[in-house]
Each structure stands twice: as C-alpha cells, then as structure tokens.
A = this chain, B = another copy of it.
C-alpha cells in the first residue's frame, strides 16, 4: 500500500509521527488570555488556522496540561497575534518558562485586559465559541470581534525546529 520509494511508518510510532509532521511548515502565532484572577497567560502556537471568513472564525490547538489552559477554559476572550520575523525573540519567550513570559515591556493590556504583544504584524480579539477536548488536548475556536494591523514584515515560519522567513516561490 506504499507507493514506490516511500518508507513505511510504523503505526503508533511517535517518532515516526513527529518525523512526518516535520515535513510540514507552519506559521507562528501567539495566543494570550487573562485568567479570571487577572494573571496574563499566553503561548506560542503553530496551529493557528483560519476556519471561515463569514463569520470570521479561527482555530488553534493546545494541550490541556498547558499553563494557559485553565485561563482558556474559563475565560470568554483570547487575543491571537500574527508574528513577523522581527518577533522571533518574543515567539521564543512565549514558548519558554511560563513564569517569565510577561516579565518585561513587550506587552500592554488590551481589550478586556488581555495582553497585546507589542510590535506584531497583526492581532485579533477572539470570543471563544468552542473548546473541543480530545484526549489531553483541545481545539479552540474563536470568532473575531476586533483587531489591528501592525507594520509589515516577513511572516514568521516554523519548520524543522527553526524559525524562518518565507523564501522563494515554489
């Protein structure tokens, strides 16, 4: 069942799944929210996807073991940030130690007190309309209610564990 030249993956082989997914590139986003107690939460996501334009809907995936999950589970809104190449450092920061993600002046309080990361290429305020639990994970769907566009930049791409700029036409 494997066409010529392909190497079969063993089912249930986690390394093989990760190897296959490394063939896939992704745009990089940051999702932020505010815990009901006011604590800002956020994380770097490579799963942001458009779901529809009318109404404007987007989705992202996360682990329900993530530090930001209790906030996302309890709150009504999140902010999705589109990142440019100039935002590489903050993308790394928001994927590192969660105690340090909001130490600094790289963010400001936006709508509903939710952190807005400064100097991004765009952000959107999303009302959380679905949280679909799947094993220890969740797909989260937001309906966009507001947003802004920042200065242009090359989009930030993640591929093979590296942050990249878009390249030449394929």
Residues of chain A having any CB pair with chain B under 8 Å = 1-3, 5-9, 11-12, 14, 16-21, 23-27, 29, 46-61, 63, 82, 84-85, 88, 108, 110-111, 116, 118-119, 121-124, 129-130, 132, 134-137, 139, 141, 144-152, 154-157, 159, 162-170
This protein's copies in its complex: 2
Q: Do A5 and B46 have beta carbons less than 8 Å apart?
A: no
| 16 contacting pairs across A/B (C-beta < 8 A) | A1-B110, A1-B111, A8-B146, A17-B53, A17-B147, A23-B84, A23-B152, A25-B155, A25-B156, A47-B49, A48-B49, A49-B49, A52-B63, A59-B59, A85-B170, A166-B167
CA distance A130 to B164 in the complex (A): 32
Q: Do A116 and B51 have beta carbons less than 8 Å apart?
A: no
Closest to A52 in B: B137
Q: A52: which B residues are within 8 A, CB to CB?
A: 63, 134-137
Q: Do A5 and B150 have beta carbons less than 8 Å apart?
A: yes
Q: Do A167 and B170 have beta carbons less than 8 Å apart?
A: no
Q: Which of A16, A130, A132, A170 lies at the interface centre, i.e. has the most chain B CB atoms within 10 A of its CB?
A: A170
Closest to A56 in B: B17
